[in-house]
Amino acid sequence: MTITPIDQAYRANGTSGRRPVLEARGLTKYFPVHLRRGGRQVVHAVEDATLALPESGITAVVGESGSGKSTLARLLAQLITPTSGAVLLDGAPAPTRRRYARQVQLVLQDPFSSLNPVHNVRYHLARPLRMHGLASRERRRGSTGPDGSDLDRRIADLLDRVALTPADQFADKYPHELSGGQRQRVAIARALAVRPRVLLADEPVSMLDVSIRLGVLNLLGALRDRDGLSILYVTHDIASARYLADVIAVMYAGQVIESGPAAQVTDAPAHPYTQLLLSAAPDPDRAQPPSLAGRGAPPNLIRPPSGCRFHPRCPHAMTVCAAERPAAIEVAPGHSSACWLHTPGLTPAQSRPLPGTRGPGGPGGSGGSGRDTDNEALRAPGPTPGTQGPGEEK
Amino acid sequence: MSAPGRGEVLIEVSGLCVDYGLGEGAVHAVVGADLALRRGEVFGLAGESGSGKSTLAYAITRLLRAPGVITAGQARFGASVNLLTAGPRQLRGLRWNEIAVVLQSSMNALNPVLSIGSQFSDVLRAHRPGMSRAERQARSGELLQMVGIPADRLRSYPHELSGGMRQRVMIATALALDPSVVILDEPTTALDVVTQREILSELTALRDRLGFAVLFISHDLSLLVEIADSIAVMYAGRLVERASAKAIFRAPRHPYSLGLLSSFPSLHGPRVAMEGIPGAPADLRNAPPGCTFHPRCRYAFDRCRTDAPPLLELDGGSRAAACWLQDGSMAAPGELARAEDVPVPAECGPTGGRP
């Protein structure tokens, strides 16, 4: 596919003219698996993902587990090599490993396992500085401030940037002495040590306590606003994506199925899967219990469904959906969605409701291997599911 | 959903204290908890990790293991049974028959080498010795269908089921003997939001049909507001607020509940900057004096630093909050004194453009 929906999204979002720092062009990753029956197969983890991260912007990738969002982050970090497609840094193929790592850094989900328990904070921050030759080696223990060594000053700086102050008090602490939020801040400081331009954050707050999540999210927002960082925010929580990101890309079964300005994707979701996701999200503003806009579980990615991968669960599935993968279509400026419903002029044969899916034909269907239940079909045909709460406008 | 207080009290807990360890070094995991669970009600217990919400549930079901010790308080089931002094025989009669528990991680709760069907039969054979093999088989199939799984799945092993189906199986086994109370400890935390929603709507439908009471433990207050009838919020081992779900959402009375509610970004309305709660959850080994929340509370004053506030009954006993701002000696700040029937303003934090 040649459409780069995210580029268009940025234009609409007022970040136009900004060249993307990091780009994914048609990234595809298949992982080989060996099955007892069936021999060698591949898991279609990410397929044809195109994404562009602009300077000073946060792009959220939202999806359920198994949607390929973390694989996409690892592909962008060049921890794994793509099956096909390219990662472009400033429009050029990515440079060697070390030079790439200076520009693009990854922050992992679990700060309880991503920090080494036998080393203190100072060690974690000094290592990238030394390895990349950003600070001189010699240091005097316990000395900070203007008369401390270069390294100590740098470390104090980093801790200051992630709001772990007073810095000299935190530098000598070990991971077990820190709370989850503080640990994640150390992990972010470590990523910032090489002064990268892109931060890839893979579920950075999902392991943290609810009351401290916003603090870390706000820190990411400040890094965007203050330091102009380009940030990829991978999450399963669409409400936090709406809060933090400028652009949301929704992934389903390895493919980016909708992308656009954050508030627009959540307020007027175009793709039936995004509608399903929003109808299932916790929302205290909701007046009545939600009616799910679809059911079931994501498909088996070893043998993904034909055509649109969402069609076995889609309440609007048509004949064409099972036959052909839909292209991304711009539904509003900068907002695109890959769904046949947006294509005008389908023939009656193409737009016939698909038998054996969640269409008006009712429950049933044997295609999806992971289908959970066969209860009565719950459908919400309207374009925006989820009732609007009373307290939303001020 | 139904109004709270519609049924008789099934479980009543008062002044319950649970420590981990003994003597000086003991950690006070639950301090003076009071709550009442009524028939047909979904009671939400909200709190962060380490707030004591699971410990409280384990204590009242007597599943607490050493070094956990119940040091004070009462827990009654119905009018006659004292849960804290019940002997093994009495507990065996209660567990599963009257009080069933569903744990967070269904992967660990199901035996991986036994089929789903034989795990159902185990329960029925142990607790309903009179049942014939065919009856057990029929009942197992019926239970599976109740949670939306075809009965032929009885032959499946846990690894052949998705996470959502395994959690449904756990719920079905819990309902096997028609208990009057089901305790769910973070039942959907490990699941995707669509599966979570499906399970929750099945659960509330079953509750409406079978009339059991649910104690629903979760860290996700925004979810509890949607599904629970009443909610108790815990912080550092104490119940800090108890009210109906609507009242907590629309008119929280404790600064911690208010902070938790403003920690969940909304799916509607203008995007406004939110603050969450400053600081980190209290360390129980080193709990602050006075009100345990005071180091993180923006309303804290002198008294909060020295005296721990009791759970004060408010609005004629329909709700309660443990906060000195609510004892009537002074006017509470506006955001902690909202009327319950007025919709909430969009956000309580300072407003701004981008967060």
pLDDT band at A182 (very low <50, low <70, confident <90, very high): very high
Inform me whether the pLDDT recorded for A368 exceeds 60.
no
Cα(A97)–Cα(A85) distance, integer angstroms: 18
pLDDT tens digit sequence for A294-338 = 677 788 899 999 999 999 999 999 999 999 999 999 999 999 999
Q: Is A211 close to B219, i.e. CB distance below 8 A?
A: no
A263 touches chain B (CB under 8 A): yes
Question: What pLDDT is stored for residue B297 in this prediction?
Answer: 94
Do B197 and A280 lie within an 8 Å CB cutoff?
yes
CA distance B89 to chain A (A): 38
Mean pLDDT across B326-353: 69
pTM, full prediction: 0.85
In order of A179, B2, B125, B166, B186, the CA distances from B195 in angstroms are: 31, 24, 31, 11, 14
Amino acid identity, position B63: L
Is residue A340's pLDDT more than 60? yes
CA distance A191 to A199: 8
Residues of B in contact with A111 (CB under 8 A): none
Confidence of residue B162 (pLDDT cuts 50, 70, 90): confident
- Which residue intervals of chain B are DSSP H helices? 53-60, 88-94, 106-109, 116-127, 133-146, 163-174, 193-210, 221-227, 245-250, 255-261, 302-306
Return the HEC string of A190-239. Answer: HHHCCCCCEEEEECCCCCCCHHHHHHHHHHHHHHHHHHCCEEEEEECCHH
pLDDT of residue B329: 85
Residues of A in contact with B259 (CB under 8 A): 211
CB contact under 8 A, B355 and A280: no
Check CB contact of A363 with chain B, cutoff 8 Å: no
Kindly report, residue by residue over B72-117, the tens digit of the pLDDT: 999 999 888 999 999 999 999 999 999 999 987 766 789 999 999 9
| Whether the Cβ atoms of residue A238 and residue A64 lie closer than 8 Å to each other | no
| Band of pLDDT at residue B223, cut at 50, 70 and 90 | very high
Q: Closest to B355 (Cβ–Cβ): which among A65, A239, A243? A: A243
Please indicate if any CB of chain B lies within 8 Å of the CB of A165. Answer: no
What was the pLDDT predicted at A28?
Answer: 96
Structure tokens at A278: 């929003």
A297/B contact by beta carbon, under 8 A: yes
Average of per-residue pLDDT across A113-117: 93
Mutating which of B267, B283, B284 best tests the A interface, going by the most A Cβ atoms within 10 A?
B267
- How far out from the chain centre does Cα A265 lie? 14
Give the A window 14-43 contacts with B, CB below 8 Å: none
The complex's ipTM works out to 0.85
Please judge whether A289 and B343 are an interchain contact, meaning their C-beta atoms are less than 8 angstroms apart: no
Chain B residue with Cα closest to A220: B355
User: Per the CB < 8 Å rule, is A391 touching B345?
Assistant: yes
Question: pLDDT, tens digit, for every residue of A271-305?
Answer: 999 999 999 999 888 777 777 766 777 888 999 99
| pLDDT tens per residue across span B262-312 | 999 999 888 888 988 988 888 888 889 999 999 999 999 999 999 999 999
> What is the C-alpha separation between B55 and B77, in angstroms, rounded?
18
Cα separation, B105 vs B109, whole angstroms: 6
Residues in chain A, how many?
A: 394
pLDDT band at A14 (very low <50, low <70, confident <90, very high): very low
Q: Which of B168, B220, B276 sits opposite A215 (nearest CB)?
A: B276
Mean pLDDT comparison of A339-348, B144-153, B230-239, highest-scoring range: B230-239
Of B345, B266, B314, B35, which Cα lies nearest the Cα of A393?
Answer: B345
How big is the A-B interface in CB pairs under 8 Å?
162
Contacts of A391 in chain B (CB under 8 A): 269, 343-346
Interface test with A, best of B167, B222, B268 (most A CBs within 10 A): B268
pLDDT digits (tens, 9 = 90+) for A124-150: 999 999 888 887 655 455 544 444 578
Q: Give residue limits of the domains in chain B.
A: 250-336
Q: Does A110 lie at the interface with B, CB-CB under 8 angstroms?
A: no
pLDDT digits over B297-307, tens only?
A: 999 999 999 99
Residues of B in contact with A278 (CB under 8 A): 267
Q: Can you give the residue ranges of every domain in chain A?
A: 120-173
Query: Is any Cβ of chain B less than 8 angstroms from the Cβ of A376?
Result: no
The nearest alpha carbon in chain B to A370 belongs to B162
Least confident of A18-27, A345-354, B88-97, B134-143: A345-354
